[in-house]
């Protein structure tokens, strides 16, 4: 009996040791090479997820791509864990790096002309500039200049011609917001507008020599001087300029042809049946102005050279001459 007891005790120790060393599999949800190892030297069977090569980590909660993300890349992720970052490396992405900037259009105004409207730098004027003088039309998604117009031309036939001059800084209206298109234009207004449209700058010289020089408004004297210098009108102390008098159709035709340097234009001679009533020095200019569609006759094929010109008619003729001049540039 004394010999059997030590044997039983030894057997019990061996069984217990075998039970301790028996490997227990890691849990089914364990991942990484640590799942094949153990946490301590005694091989306790605990799944080792703390080892450096372990891949067992909690999956982060996906975060949606930004609202302004474009392309299939917005449905992908930048890493295997699906972190929710928009994948800009997708082949079909539409979100791209900013390309070389293109200058804003020449008619752009304000500091916004040195900036751009979007991340792609496509040359669109930046309408977010604080000092912008342009506005955006959301319906057309395009940049347009703020339109200058007048409250008495909403349904007038000359509306587009008037706005053309006003938005070119050639024409301005009255303090009450009107342009009074149906009034007759006076001589000084017609000459100044024609010179502005033709790009002729005022000249500050005391060379104007009309018999009624004292009646010429001081604000217009330099323009009249420029008209004389450019041989658009003739200055003579024996004749009167009549600055506030009305201007005739043939007189305005001559001024426009000379101001826009159209005298050498070759066009078909005018075929108005009242050309006999046109002064000799105006016939060629009327032929040129009518041939270039700057001025037109009446339905009865007359020109009526001595009729006074309405403001709307003058604005239309000047605007047509301006557009003709722009076509040459």
Q: CB–CB of 77/85 below 8 Å?
A: yes
Mind listing the pLDDT tens digit for each residue in 254-277?
Answer: 999 999 999 988 888 788 999 999
Q: Residue 325 in 3-state DSSP?
A: helix
Q: Looking at the whole model, is its pTM more than 0.75? A: no
- Which pLDDT value is given to residue 54? 39
Tell whether the torsion through CA atoms of 241, 245, 246 and 248 is positive or negative: negative
Distance from C-alpha of 267 to C-alpha of 254, rounded to nearest angstrom? 15
- Which residues, including other chains, have CB under 8 Å from residue 13's CB and lie 6 or more apart? none
- Which helix or strand (DSSP H or E) is residue 136 part of? strand 134-137
Which pLDDT band holds residue 230 (cuts at 50, 70, 90)? very high
Mind listing the pLDDT tens digit for each residue in 234-259?
Answer: 988 899 999 999 999 999 999 999 99
Distance from C-alpha of 112 to C-alpha of 117, rounded to nearest angstrom? 9
What does the block give as tokens for 327? 């076509």
Distance from C-alpha of 115 to C-alpha of 138, rounded to nearest angstrom? 19
Name the more confident of 122 and 285. 285
Q: CB–CB of 263/281 below 8 Å?
A: no
Name the more confident of 108 and 100. 108
What does the block give as tokens for 261? 């340097």
- Which pLDDT value is given to residue 271? 87
Mind listing the pLDDT tens digit for each residue in 106-144?
Answer: 555 555 555 443 333 344 454 444 333 333 344 443 444
Where b means 16+ CB within 10 Å and e means fewer, 60-84 reads: eeeeebeeebebebbebbeeeeeee
Which pLDDT band holds residue 316 (cuts at 50, 70, 90)? very high
Q: Which of 328, 318, 266, 279 is nearest to 295 (CA)?
A: 318
Distance from C-alpha of 215 to C-alpha of 245, rounded to nearest angstrom? 11
DSSP summary character for residue 219: G
Distance from C-alpha of 240 to C-alpha of 224, rounded to nearest angstrom? 13
Which pLDDT band holds residue 26 (cuts at 50, 70, 90)? low
Mind listing the pLDDT tens digit for each residue in 196-214?
Answer: 999 999 998 877 889 999 9
- Which residues, including other chains, have CB under 8 Å from residue 67's CB and lie 6 or more apart? none
pLDDT above 90: residue 283: yes
Domain residue limits, the chain = 31-57, 61-96, 97-146, 159-327
- Which pLDDT value is given to residue 192? 97
Name the more confident of 178 and 62. 178
- Which helix or strand (DSSP H or E) is residue 137 part of? strand 134-137
Mean residue pLDDT across the chain: 73
What does the block give as tokens for 183? 């009034």
Q: How many other C-beta atoms are found inside a 10 Å radius of the C-beta of residue 181?
A: 22
Helix ranges, 61-186 (H): 159-167
% of the chain at pLDDT higher than 90: 48
Mind listing the pLDDT tens digit for each residue in 140-195?
Answer: 434 445 789 999 999 999 999 999 999 999 999 999 999 999 999 999 999 999 99
């Amino acid at each position: 009996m004394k010999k059997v007891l030590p044997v039983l005790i030894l057997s019990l120790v061996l069984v217990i040791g075998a039970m301790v060393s028996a490997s227990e599999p890691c849990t089914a949800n364990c991942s990484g090479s640590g799942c094949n190892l153990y946490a301590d030297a005694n091989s306790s069977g605990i799944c080792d997820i703390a080892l450096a090569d372990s891949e067992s980590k909690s999956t982060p909660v996906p975060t949606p791509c930004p609202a302004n993300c474009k392309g299939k890349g917005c449905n992908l992720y930048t890493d295997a864990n699906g972190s929710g970052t928009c994948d800009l490396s997708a082949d079909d992405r539409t979100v791209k790096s900013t390309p070389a900037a293109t200058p804003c259009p020449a008619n752009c105004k304000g500091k916004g002309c040195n900036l751009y409207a979007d991340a792609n730098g496509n040359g669109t004027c930046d309408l977010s500039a604080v000092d912008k003088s342009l506005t955006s039309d959301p319906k057309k998604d395009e940049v347009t200049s703020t339109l200058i117009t007048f409250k008495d031309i909403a349904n007038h036939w000359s509306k587009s011609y008037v706005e053309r001059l006003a938005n070119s800084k050639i024409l301005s209206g009255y303090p009450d917001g009107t342009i009074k298109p149906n009034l007759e234009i006076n001589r000084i207004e017609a000459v100044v507008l024609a010179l502005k449209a033709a790009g002729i700058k005022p000249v500050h010289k005391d060379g104007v020599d009309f018999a009624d020089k004292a009646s010429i408004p001081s604000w217009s004297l330099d323009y009249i001087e420029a008209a004389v210098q450019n041989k658009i009108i003739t200055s003579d102390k024996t004749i009167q300029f009549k600055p506030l008098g009305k201007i005739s159709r043939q007189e305005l035709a001559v001024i426009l042809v000379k101001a826009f340097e159209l005298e050498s234009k070759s066009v078909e001679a005018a075929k108005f049946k009242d050309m006999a009533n046109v002064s000799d020095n105006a016939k060629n200019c009327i032929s040129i102005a009518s041939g270039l569609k700057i001025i037109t006759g009446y339905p009865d094929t007359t020109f009526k050279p001595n009729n006074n010109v309405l403001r709307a008619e003058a604005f239309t003729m000047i605007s047509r001459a301006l557009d003709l001049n722009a076509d040459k540039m």
